[in-house]
Amino acid sequence: MTTPKFAQIKQFIVDKIRSGLWQENQRVPSENELSTQFSVSRMTARRALSELTESGILTRSQGLGTFVASFKSQSSLLEIRNIADEVKERNGNYTCSVLILESINAVAPIAIALGVEVESVVYRSVLVHNENDSPIQLEERFVNPALASGYLQQDFSATTPHEYLSSVAPLTQARHTVEAIMPNNEMCQWLNLYNEEPCLQVIRRTWSVNGIVSFARLVSPGSKYRLGGHLTFKK
């Protein structure tokens, strides 16, 4: 089966990053440059860049171009909190539905995000967090087995991935990307969204002292969830 052109472009970019030829924050070829190089339409090149951006591999800056994302921590207004604690603080009843808990072979974007080899085994979980029996967040998480070997043996209906990972690989750094998205059909089904509505998506990578622990995508209906932060400025 012939590999789609957009997938070829994605693999080309990933290979350049993995080899070290393209460094963090380095500008990558534009849609026009890629469409010329691979003899494809700009739409095809745009799809490749967009999917790598959504995965956190690239970052786009309006008017400047597309760059290799920084895989180090960055400051954030977001506090890393356990969603179960958030619900309980609102006097809500927290429950969790475990949809998927499996080991998979890492495709290139996931391998880069976790700092492991392509096709190496990683853990994947898909959960729905509920407040008062209503879904408020879909969590898809990829975990480095070397830093959390017992991940697949956990009962995530009783403890959250955040709680478990914090106990075996305490968080030292994190990187967030936050954006508004329209959910696909699968997301709508998992979140019980009968009317299409914008969702808040957080892409999060976390580190411990020993390396990258997990790469997660958190999707919440815009009508049910919001993010907040508090800043204290030194005098």
| Angstrom distance (rounded) from CA 27 to CA 68 | 6
What is the pTM assigned to this prediction? 0.68
Q: Please give the mean pLDDT across all residues of the chain.
A: 85
| Angstrom distance (rounded) from CA 104 to CA 121 | 6
pLDDT digits (tens, 9 = 90+) for 221-233: 887 665 555 445 4
A 10 A CB-CB count for 148 gives: 20
Give me the pLDDT at residue 73, please.
Answer: 38
Question: Is the model's pLDDT at 193 over the cut of 70?
Answer: yes
Q: Which residue ranges does the chain devote to CATH 3.40.1410.10?
A: 83-221
Three-state DSSP class for residue 97? strand
**CATH homologous superfamily for the domain 83-221:** Chorismate lyase-like (3.40.1410.10)
Residue 13 contacts residue 45 (beta carbons within 8 Å): no
Q: Which residue ranges does the chain devote to CATH 1.10.10.10?
A: 5-68
pLDDT digits (tens, 9 = 90+) for 35-87: 999 999 999 999 999 888 877 788 887 778 898 876 543 434 455 678 888 88
In the chain, the N- to C-terminal Cα span, in Å, equals 63
CATH no. of 5-68: 1.10.10.10
